[in-house]
Chains A and B, each alone.
Chain A
Amino acid sequence: MRLLAFLFEFFKIGLFTYGGGLAMIPILRDIAVNKEWLSESHFTDLIAISQSTPGPIAINMATYIGYREFSFLGAILASLTIIAPAFVLAIILGKFLSKFNRHPFVQAAFVGLKATIIGLIATSVVQVALVSLYGNKPGRLGRPWVGLDFKAVAFMLVFYFFIRKYQKHPLIYITIGGIASLFIW
């Protein structure tokens, strides 16, 4: 029963998230942190792990959480469940899909959906900032200046500059960041 309830969350994510891995992060974070599958900082570590291992980010996250909650069975079932809704839709809609997508109503809904996703991704940025830019205690929304680690802010700005400038694969920045971190902290 607990496994079914667990999988239902992944089914919902697979059915309602639009825009791939990045859009899935805020939704998965909301569920994972509220259900206490992972802490806020552990979830941020999971984003890093998922971006630097092979395969789709969403599958990597589902596998990781599934394994932690229900071992091997959880890893496999969480991943299968997250792809199931769209898989069924792909088969049913199949040939109609491109026609369906061109429909003005669908196009209009996508405009609203995309704007909403931007807001959700912004929440991820804030949540990750609260765990990454502060020392041992996470930052608080109401008082963002309390406990802010200026070394971390500088580190962030340097990386952001290089990410914008070179647009290399995330794995490269994550690796360099991990090694540099050992010397700084």
Chain B
Amino acid sequence: MKVFKHLVKLYIIFFKVGLFTIGGGYAMLPIVEKELVQKSKLSTMESVMESYSLAQTLPGVIASNAAALIGYKLFGIPGAIASALGVITPSIGIVTVIAMVFRKFGHLEVVQNAFIGIRIVVLALLFDSFMRLFKVAVFDKKTFAVSMISFVLVLMNWASPILILIIGALFGLYVYRERVGS
């Protein structure tokens, strides 16, 4: 019974994390710290940070990976399930409502006109993210070549992005296996 209570608590904590981090990412950390470390004292910040950095090295959704790893550390598999479900529940609820509303009102002229500008803002935001990530991930001729080749292949629809990702990882493994190790 006590374990069940803890699981519900974990679910609620990560529900809040999902609800208050708009767009995901690092924004979740302050809320996790406040709820899990300061208020309920279930975990320490070091442990949370460790789980968060591990979460980034797994595929998929970082926030739910982090939630699952934190939950798993605390209460095993049930903890992982409660945390991961908690963090995605608000999204599912809210976005379903938005999808319903958008289906009904999306064709209205005022909505369409607003989205002309919004699409351009999306472009500016994406370009900004691209520029920042580029500086981190592209640091020599080989990484530049890999990014250019994958850009062209996917842009021209000559290869599927997933296939390109797999080849990119294998290429990195082959080319950098010694350099990184030393």
Q: Chain A: residues with CB nearer than 8 A to chain B? A: 12-22, 24-27, 30, 41, 44-45, 47-60, 63-64, 67-68, 72, 75-76, 79-80, 82-83, 85-87, 89-91, 93-94, 97-98, 101, 104-105, 107-129, 131-133, 141, 152, 155-156, 159-160, 163-164, 169-171, 173-174, 176-182, 184-185
Contacts and interface: CB of A to CB of B under 8 A. Distances in A.
Nearest to A114: B137
A44 B119 contact: yes
Contacts of A14: 59-61
Contact of B115 (A27, A45, A107, A164): A45
B125 A170 contact: yes
Interface stretch (B1-9, B38-46, B95-103): B95-103
A162 B146 CA distance: 31
Contacts, number: 373
A169 B155 contact: no
A87 B134 CA distance: 28
A164 B131 CA distance: 10
Residue of A82, A97, A107, A109 ringed by the most chain B CB atoms within 10 A = A109
10 contacts: A63-B96, A83-B65, A86-B65, A89-B58, A108-B176, A116-B164, A116-B165, A119-B154, A160-B124, A181-B115
B34 to A, nearest CB: 16
Contacts of B62: 20-21, 56
Contacts of B162: 12-13, 16, 27
Contacts of B55: 90
Contact of A30 (B60, B91, B126, B161): B161
Interface of B: 18-25, 27, 50, 54-65, 68-69, 72, 77, 80, 84, 87-88, 90-92, 94-96, 98-100, 102-103, 106, 110, 113-130, 133-134, 136-138, 142-144, 146-152, 154-155, 160-162, 164-181
B100 A67 contact: yes
Given A20-B61, A141-B155, A97 B23 contact: no
Given A86-B65, A117-B137, A118-B134, A59 B120 contact: no
Contacts of A20: 24-25, 56, 61-62
